[in-house]
Structure 1
Amino acid sequence: MTSIDRRSLLRAGLAGGVLSALPAGSALAGGPWSGWSASRPVITHGVQSGDATASSAVVWTRADRPGRMWVEVSRRPDLRGARRIRGPVLTPDTDFTGKVRLRGLPPGERLFFSVRVESLDRPGLLSEPVDGQLGIAPTRRQDVSFVWTGDVVGQGWGIDPAYGGLKIFESMRARRPGFLLHSGDTVYADGPLSAQVTLPDGRIWRNLMTEEKSKVAETLTEYRGQYAYNLLDEAYRAFAAEVPQVNQWDDHEVLNNWYPGEILDDARYTEKRVDVLAARAHQAYHEWVPIPSQSGPVHRVIPYGPLLDVFVLDMRTFKDPNDGNVHADPKRGLLGSEQREWLIRGLKESRATWKVIANDLPLGIVVPDGPAAQEGVAQGDPGAPKGRELEFAQVLQEAHRAGVTGIVFLTADVHYTAAHHYDPARAAVQDFTPFWEFVSGPAHAGAFGPNKLDATFGPDTAFIHTPPVANASPAEGYQHFGEVRIDGRTGDFRVDLRDRDGVSLWSTTLKAPRRR
């Protein structure tokens, strides 16, 4: 990662003239990759940005060969007066992907950037530029907007241009959000594609095919290919170039309903140790997704000015085994003790009006894993908290006793959209402050639902939109994203649950709370 000086960037867009060509001697000549010298490097999968806070952001790209990554950043769309940032050398070790972390950025502004890759064999020989833009989080009260969804290219539904490809990303881009909260299942590594699928009415869905999407992912190359596939779609790539992402991961980045230590009984896999598969998937995720870290857990908080903190959970890396989920051991769960304490401490310390908890597994929706085991938090027992419900009972209880207000859960995972309100007056446990959980997705996958609700925390369904049959294709609709708009003056929190075309199916506005 490489950073940019704040004072330098503040001058960007103010100084006259266009910068000269990048310096000819800036990259290492020769070396072990001299076979590409006949032509200029090519950026293969566009550009992405992510984790845009009030002072920093990550810019990502991938080349077709080793080369030096360069980024130019400006306040101006024509990049006049842009500042140059020298990035890393892209090598096969990271599948020719690379990231630059920009620091010292001007809060609350929209910036424009351009990425090039310089040849290692012929210094000064550059790829064609690929442009992008990103919004920087504010430090003062102003309007905030973002979208969220999950579940991309699942259940065998890949890219078919005749049905609009990954059209939902164009609909989200049209809303001009400040960022995308991707609630997991960013890829379906366990969901191979077939060349064509016959729809119920006889039409043919024709998937764009790649070698890596023709089988379940097991090797590092196959896991990398899952992310490369999604970026082949024009709408997805255009969205990624303009909207910063906040990504979390769930199960399908590795395989369905996985947990650490699991040994597979699945004939499709030659590698049965899930921990081995997860390590390869973890590496591919960090290479291809625009998040700051190059390794390690993905839970983190994204501060977005005085109105919003986003707590991004990792409900997979520390997950206990899927069983009946009725144990009484408070040390077990989905978060692990360190992440659980981090979340409680963060909620108590947050001064933001709204604390969004991005939970890739829903809180009150029952998500079975076969006939006897449970994948999620709830298990269908409406009584006092048991199993994984215990750790969320602790989070809600401690937040309530500390006077924390403005908690909202945003999730995906179940392949339909819904709005659930939780209230202790309806619950088996009363020691928490009422809150909402909003569900969205899938972005581009089979649509399902509805699932059973667990009454432990007193949920009530205000809205739900599900397909008439299971695994409805994207051609049938029932693809969803959610949109949040926070009013900079009042602090009110408006939620719209939208369909694939961006049409609002249902909305509500939550009044800004007063801290108790």
Structure 2
Amino acid sequence: MTIRISRRRLLTTAAATSIGVLAMPYLSRAADRPQITHGVQSGDVGADGGVVWARADRPSHMMVEVATTESFSHAKVLPPIAALPESDFTAKMLLENLPAGQETFYRVRFRDLAHPAISSEPAIGRFRTAPADRRDVSFVWGGDVAGQGWGINPDDGGMVTFATMRRHRPDFLLHSGDTIYADGVIAAEVKLADGKVWKNVTIPEKAKVAETLDEFRAAHKYNFLDDNVRAFNAEVPIFVQWDDHEVTNNWSASKQLPAAYKERSIGLLAARSARAFHEMYPMRESLAEPGRIYRTLHYGPHLDVFMLDERSYRGANGENQQTAYGPESYFLGPDQLAWLKRGLLNSRATWKVIASDMPLSIIVYDDAANRSGSEAFAQGDGPPRGRELEIADILRFIKSAGIVNTVWLTADVHYAAAHYYNPDKAQFQDFEPFWEFVAGPLHAGTFGPNQLDNTFGPEVKFIKAPGQGQQNLPPSAGMQFFGHVRIEGATGQMTVTLRDRADVALWSTTLDPRPGKPG
């Protein structure tokens, strides 16, 4: 459930109301109070505000105070919102019409619905609204969390990459998907190649694949048990999208579920997963299409982020060799493709970041063991076929419309790379050169590298991946990767840096913005 708060209401809440709520009595025994179970989050922050999220342990009212100072002097108390069993006691509040470029602090409590005099201890978070002026913008991105059985290991410092990213004080995290591994078991111990033992924090729900709504919810809540993740979430807003492992590996409507699943309907699993996904993240929800994940996030004059959904509308994961566009070759689907074109055409931001949960030219097989079927865009060398027809269409449109400064950011393949797309090296050449940057995993097994296809002429400018015979490296091996983007306010230059969990800058490039057509 989401509540909207107008700026007028936010800024004119009576001081007496604030005092009355803050002065409510508490029981002396902390165990009798509601608990905030998994920290706080903010997300989908724009120039006018953002969404805040928290979860209680019982039916409660979520109460939020908002201030522009860390001391919470002159804090405004917002009307409460219910956290009920139907949403697993999660609640989201949309704070609107805040000043642009404003450091905003929020304090969350939960008030017991059965005993209104009893409230939780507070939890505090912060975010900065997007700028209205051309100030510097900084953000991080990556994907793939708690995959391949690598969960929270306190002996290894937990999910270390989140602590590393937090030290950069980014404006937001662009989470490229595989936020969970609903199809992955988290065992108490995993024996490593060197004979040592990786020891996971475990919960009962992660002893099997997720099938019920509560099991999907539990997979998200498992990640929030990590101290690094909770500290990061309290300070850094998240722009989140999903990929396959929120449901199961390589899922599409044609997915044949393995024997580990008692539930045989992929559609039902996807529906349960989607509900849990929306409950667990601070997303601005679509009124036009409830549950929609693709959306545009405007982050000041220099940046628009186009968040894609490459799962909900795709055709079957078949061979995808069609030469004519139709339902079998859908990946984004016609409606999302039209939305992306409109958004790019209307954007006045210096940079248009296209957040794609899957890379454009890295070949990912649906059946990796037999090297068959198509999971991603890439269909192999040659002219565009199958799902590549959508990419050819959007690249041709970008060129013909005179749209400049597009950058693609992605994850999924569990290694770091930088690809420069050169039409002179491509089979399909009707596009302007552009960059694609790949980051991840944030906390999962490290794999790769994968084969590239030549349809759109990718040139590998950088790659960091395990060697032969070293697949599925644990996080403790250090090959966990994230990307960092900095846009300089004065010049509009974009610097992209690929880093590892130790914060070593592995590779970097600075891109100069090109002037666009007058608009």
**Normalised by the shorter chain, which TM-score bucket?**
over 0.9
2:225 corresponds to 1:232: yes
- Give the structure 2 partner of residue 333 of structure 1: 330
CA distance in 2, matches of 1:229, 1:10: 37
Contact 1:139 1:305 in 2 (8 A): yes
Structure 2 partner of 1:179: 172
Aligned to 2:265: 273
* Matching residue within 145, 153, 169 for 2:138: 145
Partners of 1:451 and 1:11 lie apart in 2 by 56
Q: Equivalent residue for 2:486? A: 485
Secondary structure (helix, strand or coil) at the match of 2:80 reads strand
Tell me what 2:344 maps to.
Answer: 347
Aligned to 2:413: 414
Are residue 74 (structure 1) and residue 80 (structure 2) matched? no
Q: CA deviation at 1:292?
A: 1.8
Which 4+ runs in 1 deviate beyond 3 A?
A: 7-12, 15-19
Match of 1:132 in 2: 125
**Partner residue in 2 for 1:323:** 318
Query: Amino acid of the residue matched to residue 336 of structure 2?
Result: Q
Count of equivalent residues: 503
> Which amino acid is the alignment partner of residue 279 of structure 1?
A
Provide the rounded CA distance (Å) in 2 between the counterparts of 1:38 and 1:203. Answer: 39
What is the CA deviation profile of residues 12-56 of structure 1, one whole-angstrom value per residue up to 9, with x for unaligned ones? 9xx99994141899xxxxxxxxxx998221111110010001112
SS at match of 1:343: helix
Counterpart CA distance in 2 for 1:89 and 1:241 is 21
Q: After superposition, where does 1:38-437 map in structure 2 within 5 Å?
A: 39-264=32-257, 266-293=258-285, 295-331=290-326, 332-370=329-367, 371-381=371-381, 383-437=382-436
Say if 1:419 and 1:438, in contact at 8 Å, map to a contact too: yes
| Paired AA for residue 258 in structure 1 | W
Answer yes or no: is 1:463 the counterpart of 2:462: yes
Tell me by how many angstroms 1:261 deviates: 4.5
1:122 offset after TM fit, Å?
2.0
2:502 match: 501
Hey, what's the Cα distance between the residues in 2 that align with 1:101 and 1:406?
Answer: 31
TM-score, normalised via structure 2 length:
0.94
Q: Give the Cα separation in 2 of the matches to 1:253 and 1:458.
A: 31
* Partner AA of 2:423 in structure 1: P
Deviation at 1:87, TM superposition (A): 3.3
Alpha-carbon deviation of 1:435? 0.3
Task: Please say if residues 154 and 444 of structure 1, whose CA atoms lie closer than 8 Å, have aligned partners that are also in contact.
Answer: yes
1:9-48 map, 5 Å: 9=10, 19-22=18-21, 39-48=32-41
Residue type of the alignment partner of 2:102: E
| Superimposed CA distance per residue, residues 428-449 of structure 1 (whole angstroms, 9 cap, x where no aligned partner) | 1121111000000000000001
> What is the CA–CA distance in structure 1 between the aligned matches of 2:495 and 2:8, rounded to whole Å?
36
Letter in 1 for 2:325: P
Q: Secondary structure at the match of 2:66?
A: strand
Equivalent-residue separation in structure 2 for 1:18 and 1:342 (angstroms):
43
Classify 1:146/1:103 alpha carbon distance in 2 versus 1 (closer, same or farther; 3 Å).
same
Q: Write the distance in 2 (CA, Å) between the matches of 1:133 and 1:42.
A: 20
1:9 Cα deviation (Å)?
4.7
AA matched with 2:268:
V
In 2 relative to 1, CA 457–38 (structure 1 residues): closer, same or farther, beyond 3 Å?
closer
How far apart, CA to CA, are the structure 1 residues paired with 2:30 and 2:212?
A: 30
The question of whether the paired residues in 2 share the 8 Å contact of 1:8 and 1:83 is answered with no
Check conservation: 1:333, 1:391, Cα contact below 8 A: yes
Q: 1:400 to 1:10 in 2, by over 3 A?
A: farther
CA contact (8 A) 1:17 1:80 kept: no
The one-letter code of the counterpart of 2:188 is: A
Write the distance in 1 (CA, Å) between the matches of 2:93 and 2:340: 28
- 1:11 offset after TM fit, Å? 7.4
CA distance in 2, matches of 1:147, 1:434: 23
1:407-448 CA-partner distances (Å, limit 9, x unpaired): 000000000000000011111112111100000000000000
- Whether the aligned pair in 1 keeps the contact of 2:497 and 2:505 (CA below 8 Å) is yes
Taking structure 1 as reference, are residues 37 and 440 closer, same or farther at Cα in structure 2, changes over 3 Å only? closer
Please say if 1:440 is aligned against 2:439.
Answer: yes
Q: Counterpart of 1:222 in 2: which secondary structure?
A: helix
Q: How many Å apart are 1:66 and its aligned residue? A: 0.3
**Is the 2:159–2:229 Cα contact (8 Å) retained in structure 1?**
yes
Q: Distance in 1 between matches of 2:390 and 2:80?
A: 41
Q: What is the distance in 1 between the residues matched to 2:85 and 2:334?
A: 36
- Seq. identity, %: 51
Whether the 8 Å CA contact 2:254–2:317 is kept in 1: the answer is no
Structure 2 residues without counterparts, runs of 5 or longer: none
RMSD over aligned CA atoms reads 2.0
Q: Which runs of 5+ in 1 are unaligned?
A: 26-35
**Between 288-297 and 105-114, the greater mean CA deviation after superposition:** 288-297
Question: What is the TM-score with the length of structure 1 in the denominator?
Answer: 0.94
Aligned to 1:32: none
Q: C-alpha separation between the residues in 2 aligned to 1:72 and 1:329?
A: 54
Moved more, 173-182 or 363-372: 363-372
Paired residue type of 1:411: T
Contact 2:150 2:200 in 1 (8 A): yes
Q: Distance in 1 between matches of 2:68 and 2:496?
A: 30
- AA at the equivalent of 2:351: W
Q: Which moved more, 1:2-11 or 1:398-407?
A: 2-11
Contact 2:17 2:77 in 1 (8 A): no
Paired residues of 2:485 and 2:496 also in contact (CA < 8 A): yes
